[in-house]
Amino acid sequence: MNGIKPLAVVTGASSGIGFELAKQFAENGFDLVVSAEDSGVDAAAEQLQAAGADVQVVRADLATYDGVERLYAAIATTRRPVSAAALNAGVGQGGAFLDTDLADEARVIDLNITSTVHLAKRLLPVMVAEGDGKLLITSSIASTMPGSFQAVYNASKSFLQSFAEALRNELKDTGVTVTSLMPGPTETNFFHRAGMDDTKVGRQPKDDPAKVAKDGFDALMSERGKVVAGSLRTKAQGVANKVLPDKLKAAAHRRMAEPGSGRNRK
């Protein structure tokens, strides 16, 4: 096995935080299995290969059971232990709950929650059997506040935060660690895809995804339980959210996420 690089798996790797996480792994001596639904993952893989990694691409819709199974089958085919995995794939949906389509909200649940649980269920038993492995779950600072006008999205991230912390405790004596990555608003295509271009949070300056990924990678490698990643502003919000009452956090979220809130931004 001498000379063989460790293997990392990254989902949602075509752009944004997922691509930057994959880049961190590539630049730090890992080979990669990367997955996303869109064709951008192929161009991302070329950049990752230029960083020195051997990269296998799996085009799959992880919001479906078959998509997750296809990804795991590709991982198993490598016959290599997974040293680290970043379960990062996710999607948002803005708007009033009464106005959004059920199918859109169900996709948030299927991709953010169900696919993460499904892939963790496949990866973790093998990691535990090997007695080694690192799992990163992309939660969000949104997990710490009621998400007015992003009700299902924030709830999905609260699930992931609780899930990650519970797994970390369960696995504490196995050699496998779990870290939750908690970014704030980040400069990606997330808010456009979520239909939030006209909101205050959609229009405000956001954190650099490369910085968020670096914070997440460093926390994973140092086996930290969680990290609020990105700018000082985001880190300060993480501290404040520990003490602010939910009613105030819900009102603040409304001001940032309500449709049309960004039209008269001062």
Any idea which residues carry the catalytic annotation? 153
Query: What phi and psi, each to the nearest 5 degrees, are found at residue 27?
Result: -75, -10
CA distance 182 to 194: 19
What's the angle, vertex CA 32, arms to CA 38 and CA 9, rounded to 5?
A: 75
DSSP per position, 127-163 = HHHHT-EEEEEE--GGGGS--TT-HHHHHHHHHHHHH
Q: If we measure between CA atoms, which residue out of 183, 190, 163, 191 comes closest to residue 14?
A: 190
Count Cβ atoms within 10 A of the Cβ of residue 69 and give its class: 0-12 exposed, 13-18 middle, 19 or more buried.
middle
CA distance 71 to 77: 10
CA distance 131 to 88: 23
Q: If we measure between CA atoms, which residue out of 117, 86, 109, 68 comes closest to residue 11?
A: 86
User: Do the beta carbons of residue 62 and residue 38 sit within 8 Å?
Assistant: no
Query: What phi and psi, each to the nearest 5 degrees, are found at residue 229?
Result: -110, 155
Strands (DSSP E) found in 187-260: 226-229
Tallying the residues shown for the chain, one arrives at 266
Region of 93 on the Ramachandran plot (φ > 0 left; ψ -120 to 50 alpha; else beta): beta
